[in-house]
Structure 1
């Protein structure tokens, strides 16, 4: 599953709360290789964490894995951040709760998707949500071109018969698109939470809200299977790979990398997901599948770059 970005208007992927205030251009003459490596490493961690989640779904079910991931990530973040809970207005709590709802919806729908369709196609469909948000926010005619390019990728995806994208389970594809819509909401409320809560406190609190919301669904689907020690250990691994580690790496990268550059790098998520699906889950892609992924990635990058040119230096 996807991870953060830096600004509600310049990225095609979401940002952890607090990240909006940390992004700034690197010092003159400074190398960008370090922060770029951090972002790429975070993307690899997220998608290989998702592949691990697919492997343990037969044990705990999709809802159970979501519960394990969010609960473990919330526990780790609350222990690390120790956020204050006093001194905030009702509007602040409303924002962080909305952020948590978006997070729970994004994770829940995405994991239902990858339980039914390959990882690469799922992330490719999911990224359409942030891409649509970028096009809407920019209000630039050129971004209709990028939207059309993404649509071409989806048409290619849907029209390809056989074992590739064209053989996708319709319900799984619908879940992935729903996850994309929640990802767009996640972006909006992540930025708002970052303005109201210091550091990563808002992220930790929102993660706790998401964990509480997912808990009943996980219990209903998986019951006592969630308490099996080996399943708990694997769930903790998913939480670390998909949440704790990438959020930490991306927050570090955002301190030295401009937000638009960060967003372009995050647009590579579908390609990383397809690679993880192939290496871990043996989910092979055809040439047409790869072309569909490439079209959506190109559209996402183009939307970010055109939006960056619109803004003053």
Structure 2
């Protein structure tokens, strides 16, 4: 499930590049969240009555992190290659994993990943796009929050019911800047159809798989597989966008993957907490 989610996320990001020219980065993210909400509500049919007051902070934080993780990352890939953006973004969840490890030595792995990122961006050539790097880092911070709160919401709600509650929140938050871009952009039936198709891939399928996977693993165990996502980013960037990395950049990606895998050694999650009996089982059978 985790591997399928990673491939789906990177493929949807690559396919979103074509929409950015039409409706902007925030507009693209907002349309994805809106269609994602529609599709999820058709499948999961969440019951708002199942939401307790103490659930709201986690739902709001996860919705905010999900929405702006997408916005910031789409801005980044508009300026730097997909594989490089994923490697930089990966510093977020990797740092969270290091902190969760509660060992000072665990923070050495984010530092090693940072070396890999430097090799990928090659600042000594003077061609680095600092704006793209900053937005990739901002997306990474959101990604770290996303992993933490996805597990909490996944433990609280059955199946993808939690996702059907957080994606609408993400749509509301991203709509603040996304809606004006859509209205002022070049909206067409083709753009709407493409956005709906991408939304089916991410957030519906990919984020749903991540939430289900995180019910079976802790943050560090999930990060073991997550470590290969920069490699998936390079692969998808090469196949879909024609972005071919050279030797030094491949070495940087290898360091990021190595750091991510090493940071997660020996960590496994016990049985997922039992769902609150007051929360109804969703239509997806979770």
With normalisation by structure 1, the TM-score equals 0.78
Residue 71 (structure 1) aligned with residue 71 (structure 2): no
Q: Bigger shift: 220-229 or 71-80?
A: 220-229
Deviations 1:16-47 (A, max 9, x none): xxxxxxxxxxxxxxxxxxxxxx4433322221
Residue 48 (structure 1) aligned with residue 48 (structure 2): no
Assess, with a 3 A threshold, how the Cα gap between structure 1 residues 291 and 202 changes in structure 2: closer, same or farther.
Answer: same
| Residue in 1 that maps onto 2:263 | 303
Deviations 1:126-166 (A, max 9, x none): 0100000111111213313313311221332344544xxx6
Assess, with a 3 A threshold, how the Cα gap between structure 1 residues 287 and 187 changes in structure 2: closer, same or farther.
Answer: same
Q: Which runs of 5+ in 2 are unaligned?
A: 272-286
Aligned ranges 1:31-46 → 2 under 5 Å:
38-46=1-9
Residue 133 (structure 1) aligned with residue 87 (structure 2): no
Q: Is the 8 A contact 2:98 2:263 kept in 1?
A: yes
Q: Which runs of 5+ in 1 are unaligned?
A: 1-37
| Residue in 2 that maps onto 1:99 | 62
C-alpha distance in structure 2 between counterparts of 1:114 and 1:123, whole Å: 9
- Partner SS state of residue 305, structure 1: coil
With normalisation by structure 2, the TM-score equals 0.85
Deviations 1:187-236 (A, max 9, x none): 22222223333332221111000011112312212316464100001111
Residue 146 (structure 1) aligned with residue 109 (structure 2): yes
Q: How far off its partner does 1:168 sit?
A: 3.0
Assess, with a 3 A threshold, how the Cα gap between structure 1 residues 312 and 79 changes in structure 2: closer, same or farther.
Answer: closer
Calculate the aligned-residue CA RMSD, in Å. 2.4
Residue 244 (structure 1) aligned with residue 204 (structure 2): yes
Count of residues in correspondence between the two structures = 270
| Residue in 1 that maps onto 2:119 | 156
Assess, with a 3 A threshold, how the Cα gap between structure 1 residues 160 and 263 changes in structure 2: closer, same or farther.
Answer: same
Q: Is the 8 A contact 2:3 2:225 kept in 1?
A: yes
| Residue in 1 that maps onto 2:152 | 192
